[in-house]
Amino acid sequence: MIEHLNIQEFIKQSAKIPVIDVRTPAEFEHAHIPGAYNIPIFTNDERAQVGTAYKKQGKEQAVELGLKLVGSKLYDFVRQAKKIAKDKQLLVHCWRGGMRSASMAWLFQTAGLYVKTLEGGYKAYRRNVKSFFAQKFNLIVLGGMTGSGKTEILEQMEQMGEQIIDLEKIARHKGSAFGALGQEKQTSTEQFENNLFEVYKDLSLNKPVWIEDESQAIGYVRVPEELYVQIRNSPVIKLNIPKKERIKFLLEEYGRFEPEQLKISVLKIKKRLGGLKTQQALEAIETGDLETVVDISLDYYDKAYNYGISKREAAQVFEIELSEINARFNSEKIIEFYKALSIKDLKNNFVESS
């Protein structure tokens, strides 16, 4: 008999047992459980045909059509499943935990595999993701103007044993108009949330989690509303680093890209820069004067960041002066600075990092 797991047990067992998603390629491509394999029982077109038959002719006719469509593919399904299975074990799910997962689980079990399915299917997984981000987290927000090296500091902090969430890495975007340069194609917002959950679920809720001060939109994806509200209401440690140091850092980061790529990025913020500043930036790209391009761009981004930070509760913003961008040195200074702050100052019952 096939065992049906609730979402918590399914997630727990998925750490050791491979997950098979039997939804269509289109459903899987839009968003899926991270690490899952796709063995679609129907192609995108076949799924549409079965759905139409169900609406127009009823369940019995739809089932018959489904059997006709998949009959010739059963051997291939089993062959794929056996390659993926670990110790002959598999977890299987579809959209709602209905006929697709039940049928495929029966097939795999008949072929000698040990199969468990997810109660409620992928839909239950998504409800769990949404409810997870509604929990209260002990967030410490790492703030500071563009080019402060916050991502590198987070990476260094992680190596030092701190809990971090790198939103930009998970989003495959660095947030600004230049943020897509050198990055992989972004996923859907739904997949971004799934990937974020995959990282977040293993962190301790009793210890601080360092996270960068981001806008809700990071490129084309959006931070879950429940989490974003917490980011906006959590204590911020704001890095104050001289503009000349930030310009130098951004030149190293973006100076390697082609002039046309930089022009496209500048044009994305044309309305914000204004016609004159935009033209000056484009001309500077033509002449290779990238320092001027960065300087002009920072005028806009610094104003935008200062406006955003001004909307926070002043008592929740703690500023630290840093003279240069050095991830290791700055990480140590920031952690020392954080530990020197009292629990009362932070206005949250945070457990200090060990």
Q: What is the distance between the alpha carbons of residues 25 and 29, in angstroms, rounded to a whole number?
A: 6
Q: What is the distance between the alpha carbons of residues 235 and 97, in angstroms, rounded to a whole number?
A: 41
Catalytic residue among 31, 33, 94, 290: 94
Catalytic (active site) residue 94: yes
Phi, psi of 24 (to 5 degrees): -65, 160
Torsion, Cα of 121, 122, 124, 125 (10° steps): 130
Phi, psi of 319 (to 5 degrees): -95, 140
DSSP states along 1-63: --EEE-HHHHHHHTTTS-EEE-S-HHHHHH---TT-EE--SS-HHHHHHHHHHHHHH-HHHHH
Active site residues: 94
